[in-house]
Structure formats: structure tokens, C-alpha cells
Chains A and B, each alone.
Chain A
Amino acid sequence: MTADTPDAARQVTAAPDPQVPAIELRGISKAFGPVQANKDISIRVMPGTIHGIIGENGAGKSTLMSILYGFYKADAGEIFISGQKTTIPDSQAAIAAGIGMVFQHFKLVENFTVLENIILGAEDGGLLRPSLAKARASLKSLATEYELNVDPDAVIEDIGVGMQQRVEILKALYRQADILILDEPTGVLTPPEADHLFRILRNLRDEGKTIILITHKLREIMDITDTVSVMRRGEMTATVKTAETSPAQLAELMVGRKVLLRVEKTPATPGKPVLDVDNLRVVDAAGVERLRGVSFTIRAGEVLGLAGVAGNGQSELLEVLGGMMPATGTVRVNGTPIDLTGPHADGQSRRAAGIAHVPEDRQRKGLIMDYAAWENSVFGYHRDPTIGRGPLMRNAAILDHAAAQMQRFDVRPPNPRLPAKAFSGGNQQKVVLAREIERGPDLLLIGQPTRGVDIGAIEFIHQQVIALRDAGKAILLVSVELDEIMALSDRIAVIFDGRIMGEVAAEDASARELGLMMAGVSTGKAS
């Protein structure tokens, strides 16, 4: 199969032999310096199936797929596509071999239309018009065939992430991909969008396409895949039929030990109100009202979970309470109003008032990625008199303290001199959490605590949040993962379009009811 005659080659693969694996990898190894990212990996993916690859961050999933897509060259091993030995030196060759990839971060030109993006790199000649016409026709047939409806003339920056992802899938299909690789496709999607994506993937499978789904979410694996391979530390630990396994077994295979998927906690014993938010309003730079009169209370010793689809005002709420954004209304902490617009509406004043904040975006906000872990261990508290004298910082003392803290929070590797960017997502989060918890705040704001965090660390982080609650602190939990909200919260409020739609006690909450409120349907329980 050569790149020159992809269409001729396609005739062979168009009718896949169900007995020959669509993809077979034999003994793939890849090392980066001393790090063995992939160790002797063999895998067979049968045509017309959805094959999941699950593993913690850094397990080697992405490296393996990058080898398959021609980004990396394997140190050892062979690749067979539909039974034929193939070398894939670059992504052009991967496309020619019928492999399409949908990346976690989309690779679209923001100010091009859908159609222009689809033909980008696959234009037939010097003139665009014939290519566009051809793409429009094939887009129409793809849309009806697979429920992949996208307005071909919409500009990418005007459409939602769910739509953008469809464009990525269409790009692959337009290039006649028979094998589709999706890397963490639901990370950016709302639950309904994810459901739609899964419908599309099932349609594609039923039409004979082969799909590889990379994820760290057990539920997705159980929902949609036919077979699943588990990776741990560069090795393929197991490949099983999804129907014959359970989430607990997969989690154990991923982490290498038994994992509690449910959070163990006793009922809350709420005390006096710590946070009192009344009629909070925020207008963003573009003049759009992001919070439209939000009111709620959190008491000491309880977790209030704020559920909602991303972009409904929960990020703004965290930023206002964390002192990163001005607002109107009143916010009282322990009965004392805090400054929402004036000179004391900043992170330093908030910390002084006893508010700790684990931000939603730990890499852009919670940490300085180039700072060493010890420097990050005082980030935001660097004006604290205890960590220095006058204008000077006691670096040696901070370093020692950070080292001890990293031991307590099981940060791996426990080396405070490594920059934050050298840690995995879960360990970065532990660094942030350790910093925010250890100073004994009255109120913890925590946004997307386990986004991009591996299962072993999720368990640990959840335990820490519950331990803080049991120590009598108030916690505001914001998460787009409904499972997480339901597992950790004592009360659950739902935010939609800048308003609190309603509030329920966690034990009475059903995913269905919360889902309706997240979609903006009031269920009559609104406070």
C-alpha cells in the first residue's frame, strides 16, 4: 500500500475480512531517554469493533497512538494494518493507511468554515471551488449516514466544542479513514454531547469502521466499547471483552491495586454558616451577564456541590469568591462582608479572610508550571510573614517544608526541586491541594478537583476533601462530573445560565433530576 494510490488500496480495505485484525501491533517498544513509555506492546483490534484503551495519565496510551499515527517511530516492533505489514513514518502515511485521528485538543483553523477545514490538506488542485463542492456533497452523505450533522458554512469559532469535534471526525472520514482513533474525546463535552458522540461512534462501528477510544473514564469504557485494553506504566496489562469485566476489575488493572470507587463518608454535621452569598451578579468584559443573582449558604462541616454544564457561570462564581473578578451583591465570610470590587477584591485579601482556592485550571492558574514544587508550595501565600523576613523569603525553610508536605500528600516523585510541569496531573493537583488545605482555611473553593487526574489520585483527593469537611470546614465543590458531585456533596445546587436552578440534599438527588436542572428545566424544588 503506497501513498500514491490510496483509492486503489481502499478497495481492498473497504470490505474488511472479519477474521483479520484491522490493526495489529506486535512487540512495540518506545523509550524517551531512560523512560520506557511503551514496553513490548502487542494488541489486536478486530474490524468493526470499538476498542477501548484505558490507563492512568502517563501509562503510555498517547505514545502508543502517536506511534500508530506516525508522530513517533517505535524503537522495536511491527505494525500490521488489515494483515499487511506497514511502516508509518509520518501522519501522511497513517492517513494513506486509512487511519484517522481525533486529538484531545482539536487541530482546526478557528476562522475557517467547516468545509474549508475539512478540505485543508486534502485539496484536489490549485482551485478551491471543485474541492469545496466535492466536500459539500460527501459531507451531506456522511451527515445522513452517521448522524454527523454540521452546518458546512459555519465558522469554527462560532460553533460549540461538540460540533468542532464532529468536524474533526468528518475530516478523518473525508480522508476515507477506516480506523478512527479518538483521544479522550469526552473531556470537553457536556453529558448530552457525549451521548450524541457515542451514538455516532456506534453508527460508525455498525458501518464497519474500526474505532479506538482512548480514555481514563471507566464509565465510557463500560458504555461503549466491545473490547478493552488496560495499560499501566508502559505495559499492556490485559485485554478483555467489555461484557466480561467490571469497573472495579478495570480500575484494579489500571492502578495495580484495589481502588475504592465510592467515597466512604459519614453524614455531615453542619455548624454555623461560613459562606453567605446573596444576589451575586457578574457582567463579563463582553457585557454578558454571567451570574444573574446567585444566592446560597454553606455551613461549617458541609460540602455544597455545584453541578452544571461548563460555561453556565460556575467558573465566574469561583473567580469572584477567589478574588480574581469583580462582582456586585454581598458575600459574607463568617458574618463579615468581603470586598467585591474595591482594592481588597484580590487573592491576597481572600486568603487573609480564610478562603482557600483550588482553581479549575491548575496549570494556568493554580501553579506556575516553570516554578519548582517548593516555590509553588507557597504560591499565593508568599506574602505570609511565616515564610520569610521582611522582603526576603526563607528559601531553605520553604524547601524543607515543601519536602515534608509532599511526603504527607504522597506527591510522586517527592522531589521539591522538580518544576511543576514535570509532575503528572494528579500530582500537580496534590501540590495545589496540599498548599490550600494545610493552612487551615475556613472555606475551601475547589473547582474540577479531579480533571485530568488519574484514578489512584482521585481516591486520595476525594478523601482529603471529606477529611477537611469532617474537620469542620466549609467546602464549595464545582465540577462538571456529576458522579463526583453526587459522591462528595452533602447538598447539591444546580447552576444554569447564571442562576441557581434548585438545590437538593445529596441523599435525595437523582442523576435524572439533576440532569434536567442542568439543562435548564426547573423541577419545582427551586429555592
Chain B
Amino acid sequence: MERMPKWADVVLIPLISLLLAAVLSGLVILAIGEDPINALNLMIKGALGSTYGWGYTLYYATNFMFTGLAVAVAFHARLFNIGGEGQAMLGGLGVALVCLYLPWPHWSLALIASTVGAALFGAAWAFLPAVLQAKRGSHIVITTIMFNFIAAAFLNWLLVGPLKPRGGMDPSTARFPEATNLPSLHDLLAPLGISFSKAAPANISFLVGILACVLVWVLIWRTRLGYEIRAFGHSEPAARYAGISPTKITVITMLISGGLAGMMAINNVMGEAERLVLNATEGAGFIGIAVALMGRSHPFGVFLAAILFGFLYQGGAELALWTAIPRELIIVIQALVILFTGALDNMVRMPLERIFMALRRRGA
């Protein structure tokens, strides 16, 4: 018997958690002598009040969608992929190599090839931790997090060395050729008669992100592989009984997960920077964990959570720009959201379950 209706589980709990996080954040803002209502206004106006704000919000959201899906897929197999950051960095390398060293007649072909390149490089970076987990039992949390550092160091070396163009003054690759530049939302919406900010970085990758959400949903709930992934996540002995190889599922799941994390690079590297810079991921790999937690590992939940975190990112940046609230506080707010929606889930869930049980008893 379900303890409470599904809508309460999926909608009510995240909303209450979010509200609690907002209240606590308000108190913190109050404590440093600023006006929380004004701050909230600024955040909303900055992130959602203009197409420019929306452009940034959706841009960040696209990053989080990919990394959130990556973590969510792994969660279904009860694997905790903390390496989204490193996998996304390698995805950036894949994109850079595709864009720089192959000639592309049109951005659409370049986008397809870059997506494949990003996914391959991201998956490759997840492969070794996956094999170590499956064959040797090295814990995937430890290995993926270590691989983040290796990825950062590796990219550092590439960007000050082999990939840096002659005479370049900063650690980055050369600009990608014009033909590989992706259309922004401004370009996409203009033919429809909608004027969208030209300066905002949101681009066609946002649509690829939505497509990825749909495909992941199909994978998890409609395919034999998804069935095996979930079965393995629920019970390894049962998976073994059903003839599902734990080694194979661990590796395949991590390859998909790493591939999704890597695909983030088409947004930030190809869509926005149009060259590979140092630390291009800006922590999006870690935000993906919070997004997957808040989205309950469901692709639609991940989509919504990614938009929320996009809002927090963009709104937070505006806040730092227009008030005396330091940028660090934005991280505090984000941390509170993660804390309440992810870690303190049961704090909201248990009293709510009790309320629903009591309501039902009265109704019965």
C-alpha cells in the first residue's frame, strides 16, 4: 500500500523542500543585513524577467540537464557517478577535436559529429572506473572523483601545451571555425517572429538536451536494457539469477552515464565559448548530482530541476551584480536547496506521510 499519493511524492515534497530552503536562505540574507524580498525580486527579474535572463537560465539549465541525466541513469543501476565533471571536461576535448581538426560544411553536421565525439570521450572517461568497479570492486565514488582530478590535470596540460595555438596568450584552443558555430535561441526563434536576446548564450543544445531527456526516459522504462539496469540497481543477486551480468550492466550503464555527461560540452564548449577553455565545466558536473536527486532520477524531474538550478545560477549572478550580497552567498543558497531537496528528503517526507495516513484514516 502506498503511503501517500504519487503526486504528493513527486510534486509536493520537492515544493515544500524548496520553500524551506527559500525561507532559510531569506533568513541568511536578513542576517547579513539585506532585504530578502528585494533579493528574491532581483533574482526572478534577473533570471526570468527578460529574454536575456531566460537565455542565461536556459543555457545553464542545458548543462545541468546533461549532467543530471548522467547521474540519474547511473542511479538506476545504484551506481553513484560523481565523475560528471571530469567526463564533461573530456567531452569538451572530444568537441574541440571534432571542430578543430575536421572540416565541416554546415553546423548541423558538425553538431551531430560533435555530439558523438563528446559522448565517446565522456564515455571513455567513465570506462575505467566502471571496469574497476565491476571487476575489482574499487568503489565507483572514489574512482570517478579521482578521475575528475586527472581530467582537470590532463586538460590543463593540453591547453597550455599541444592544443594551444601558436602565440596564444591564454590556456585555450584556437577558436572553432565559423561553420561549426551553433545557432543561438535568437537565431532559432527569429524566423518565428519571436525576438530573443542576441547576447544570451542559450543555443540549440537546449533542444538536444530535451531530446536526451526523452531518449533516457525511453531507455529506462521502455527498453530491455533499461529493465536490466533497474533490476540490477534493485538487487544484484536477483540480476544474477535472471542472467543479467553485473559486470556488463555496470560497464554499459557507466558508459551511457559518462556519454551523457560528456554531451554537455556541445552546450558550453561548442555553443557558448566556441573554443575549449580551462575549467569550462564550472562545476556543472557536481550540480548534476543535486539535479538528479531533486528530479528523483526521472528524466522529466531532471528537466524541471535543471531549469530550477539554471534559475538559481543566473539569478544568483544578478544578485551578486546588483547588491552587496557576495557571490559566495549564492553558493550557500544553492547548497541549501541541495540540502533540503536531496539530503533532507526524509525530513519532509515522514511528517507528510503521517499527515496523509491520518487523512486517509479519517476518510476510511
Contacts and interface: CB of A to CB of B under 8 A. Distances in A.
A422 interface: yes
A216 interface: no
Residue of B230, B235, B243 with most partner-chain A CB within 10 A: B243
A186 B242 CA distance: 30
A395 B218 CA distance: 12
B360 A33 contact: yes
A369 interface: yes
Interface of B is mostly: helix
A393 B230 CA distance: 14
Interface in B215-259: 218, 221-225, 227-228, 230-231, 234-235, 237-238, 240-245
A323 B241 CA distance: 7
A142 B361 CA distance: 47
A369 B224 contact: no
Q: Which 6 A-B pairs have the closest CB atoms?
A: A347-B243, A348-B243, A380-B242, A365-B241, A346-B243, A368-B234
B11 interface: no
Interface in B185-224: 218, 221-224
A388 B224 contact: yes
Interface in A336-372: 346-351, 357, 359, 361, 364-371
B222 A366 contact: no
A272 interface: no
A422 B241 CA distance: 21
A309 to B, nearest CB: 22
Interface of B: 1, 218, 221-225, 227-228, 230-231, 234-235, 237-238, 240-245, 357, 360-361, 364
Interface in A312-326: 322-324
Contact of B361 (A31, A322, A323, A370): A31
B239 to A, nearest CB: 8
B234 A382 contact: no
Contact of A367 (B222, B238, B357, B364): B238
Nearest to B218: A392
20 contacts: A33-B1, A34-B364, A323-B243, A324-B240, A347-B241, A350-B243, A351-B243, A359-B241, A364-B237, A364-B238, A365-B237, A366-B238, A368-B235, A369-B235, A370-B234, A380-B241, A380-B242, A392-B222, A392-B224, A395-B222
Interface of A: 31-35, 322-324, 346-351, 357, 359, 361, 364-371, 375, 379-380, 382-383, 388, 391-393, 395, 422
B361 A33 contact: yes
Given A324-B241, A346-B245, A347-B242, A368 B231 contact: yes
Nearest to A368: B234
Contacts, number: 79
A369 B228 CA distance: 14
Given A348-B242, A364-B238, A422-B1, 19 more contacts: A33-B357, A33-B361, A33-B364, A35-B1, A323-B243, A324-B240, A347-B240, A347-B242, A365-B238, A368-B238, A371-B230, A371-B231, A379-B238, A383-B224, A383-B243, A391-B224, A391-B225, A392-B218, A393-B227
Given A33-B360, A33-B364, A382 B237 contact: no
Contacts of A375: 227
Contact of A366 (B227, B230, B234, B241): B241
A400 B230 CA distance: 22
B245 A34 contact: no
A379 B222 contact: no
Contacts of A367: 238
Contacts of B237: 361, 364-365
A277 to B, nearest CB: 20
B224 A382 contact: yes
A178 B221 CA distance: 55
A379 B242 contact: yes
A285 to B, nearest CB: 12
A415 B218 CA distance: 24
Contacts of B1: 32-33, 35, 422
B296 to A, nearest CB: 14
B178 to A, nearest CB: 38
A395 B231 CA distance: 16
A32 B1 CA distance: 10
Contacts of A347: 240-244
A371 B223 contact: no
Given A31-B361, A33-B361, A388-B224, A357 B235 contact: no
A379 to B, nearest CB: 5
A33 B361 CA distance: 5
A393 B224 contact: yes
A351 B244 CA distance: 12
Nearest to B240: A324
A390 to B, nearest CB: 9
Contacts of B228: 382
Nearest to B222: A392
A383 B248 CA distance: 15
A298 to B, nearest CB: 21
A379 B234 CA distance: 13
Nearest to B364: A34
Given A33-B357, A392-B224, A349 B235 contact: no
A375 B218 CA distance: 16
Contacts of B364: 33-34
Contacts of B223: 391-393
A393 B238 contact: no
Residue of B240, B245, B357, B360 with most partner-chain A CB within 10 A: B240
A64 to B, nearest CB: 20
Contacts of B230: 368, 371
Contacts of A361: 237
